[in-house]
Structure 1
């Protein structure tokens, strides 16, 4: 996209199952789709195992040798580079012995910081400066966080931010609608507990909206803390504390219970969408936002179709040249 804002596209919507996004030709096809829609940078997302071969730095290097090899691979699909890497340290992974780590447990902090190192090193090698991290587990897994717990979790992410900064990489923590740091009050307390110079906020417009937080109003108040953006829409809010349901990743987000909404995340311009995308993008421009704006649909449907719909909206509704 030819714009004053930096646009990227999230690769996660292609990687819906381990058996459908493994072959290099499938990945290059996705790169070409994103490039044809005007996106020349991609955001990767963490996962596990050799079948998920664009999600762990160790496996990426096994496939593509080094940063130059990866750049050559991306270039085969007309992609210039990696904008960012989304990392969930609370997803047990094979590479770390399926360890189940908790940010509210001080005994786990050293291991969590250590687990950030492969991603920080990867980003430094490929010339990207943005690690995007989920800062805590889902709320249904335990008691609500009190003020002391939020401060403790903040201290952990200050350490990760310090580690990243030492390699020239910046950290943005990503609020999601299932998070144990859930309410606007919780989120503001977390920002107060973290160092502005080390820990930025990744604002996901749909996740905020589902969680009951107005993304435009929040950004206007906290533009200095927002260093990364995920841009997508949703026609739904969590009006019944469904995020607290056991196994909310499936029972809420995959329609297994509650209102049986099978799809919460939608492309830009969705009819009935609750995110005021034009107002949000206008706010980014007004505050001279300098980070990445990553468009995603997050497993919403046919990935190529959704990429094209998102591109159409940016071009025809926001007037951004492809």
Structure 2
């Protein structure tokens, strides 16, 4: 059965080599590899500063002379679009003199909206469709699980952002990573219930949910009407001891491997020993006639090009065009 799923690839796994990835020739090389592996779109990740020239529309314009010149490069390499852009409003932004903003603070909703609009405008020009945003801050950074009031505050903020970016023709989609306070069945359900389904979708990230002890297939079953974007990667590990809730888990758990010394939390789809049931998810997509971008990732890889090839091979067999 043919599927309307479009295959995209996240360029974020090239970013750890940031000292090399400041050069346009490295950008072109990565885009060509993504295209050669059978993907038709690329997802960018928000960043800041001179070492992240693809992190913001203004940085792209400064590097390439205009955003249009970069979009031309994307299409020249054989890709159809910049499919999506991932942003976390809680991350610092040097260009805006911001130490990061919290969606839980109603007083910051206006600034968050203003900061994210340029990404949506760029995506509209680049043939994209999804502005992917971190749903809630890290669980460890909060004083316990978010209350109904705080969830409602976050939902109000995302509704505001969703309405603004919708004016550009782009849809907001919330992403749940393994450290996020939204990586909890009840919290996620409450957040989605408080957001407007016409304005706010859900990005399903297979490995992030699995690490947080959530079954991505079950999450899809529960919220399939809201799932409008996919992040596909595998994992061999589950955080069964709650290390993701420990202070500064970004460093202690994800970067340093935690108490078990995990070398890599994320792997290519279909990796031996992988815990994600991709065939079951693919069957759900076919049954629901799901359409949208399936963006493959492989963060923490020691070899981005090899990972792109492995993911490309798996993608073409999992999700036949």
Q: Do they superpose with TM above 0.5?
A: yes
Q: Show the counterpart of 1:161.
A: 162
1:201 and 1:157 map into 2 onto residues whose CA distance is: 12
2:229 and 2:148 map into 1 onto residues whose CA distance is: 25
Query: Is the 8 Å Cα contact of residues 83 and 123 (structure 2) preserved in structure 1?
Result: no
Query: Is the 8 Å Cα contact of residues 71 and 80 (structure 1) preserved in structure 2?
Result: no
1:64 and 1:55 map into 2 onto residues whose CA distance is: 13
Q: Show the counterpart of 1:27.
A: 27
Q: Show the counterpart of 1:182.
A: 183
- Once the two structures are TM-superposed, the CA of residue 67 in structure 1 deviates from its matched residue by 4.6
SS in 2 for 1:86: strand
1:198 and 1:282 map into 2 onto residues whose CA distance is: 27
Query: Is the 8 Å Cα contact of residues 45 and 87 (structure 1) preserved in structure 2?
Result: yes
1:3 and 1:67 map into 2 onto residues whose CA distance is: 32
1:282 and 1:51 map into 2 onto residues whose CA distance is: 41
Sort the Cα spacing of 1:303 and 1:197 in 2 relative to 1 into closer, same or farther, 3 A. same
Unpaired segments of 5 or more residues in structure 1? Answer: none
What do the CA deviations read for 1:71-110 (whole angstroms, capped 9, x no partner)?
2212343222211111111110111103332222222222
Q: Say yes or no: does 1:251 pair with 2:255.
A: no
Runs of 4+, deviation exceeding 6 Å: none
Q: Show the counterpart of 1:260.
A: 261
SS in 2 for 1:239: coil
- Once the two structures are TM-superposed, the CA of residue 206 in structure 1 deviates from its matched residue by 0.6
SS in 1 for 2:318: coil
Unpaired segments of 5 or more residues in structure 2? Answer: none
2:53 and 2:274 map into 1 onto residues whose CA distance is: 33
- Once the two structures are TM-superposed, the CA of residue 48 in structure 1 deviates from its matched residue by 0.5
What do the CA deviations read for 1:177-215 (whole angstroms, capped 9, x no partner)?
000222111111110010000000000011111111111
Q: Show the counterpart of 1:207.
A: 208
Sort the Cα spacing of 1:105 and 1:4 in 2 relative to 1 into closer, same or farther, 3 A. closer
2:94 and 2:35 map into 1 onto residues whose CA distance is: 32
Q: Show the counterpart of 2:97.
A: 97
Q: Say yes or no: does 1:83 pair with 2:69.
A: no
Sort the Cα spacing of 1:206 and 1:256 in 2 relative to 1 into closer, same or farther, 3 A. closer
1:192 and 1:319 map into 2 onto residues whose CA distance is: 30
2:20 and 2:194 map into 1 onto residues whose CA distance is: 41
CA RMSD in angstroms comes to: 1.6
- Once the two structures are TM-superposed, the CA of residue 3 in structure 1 deviates from its matched residue by 5.4
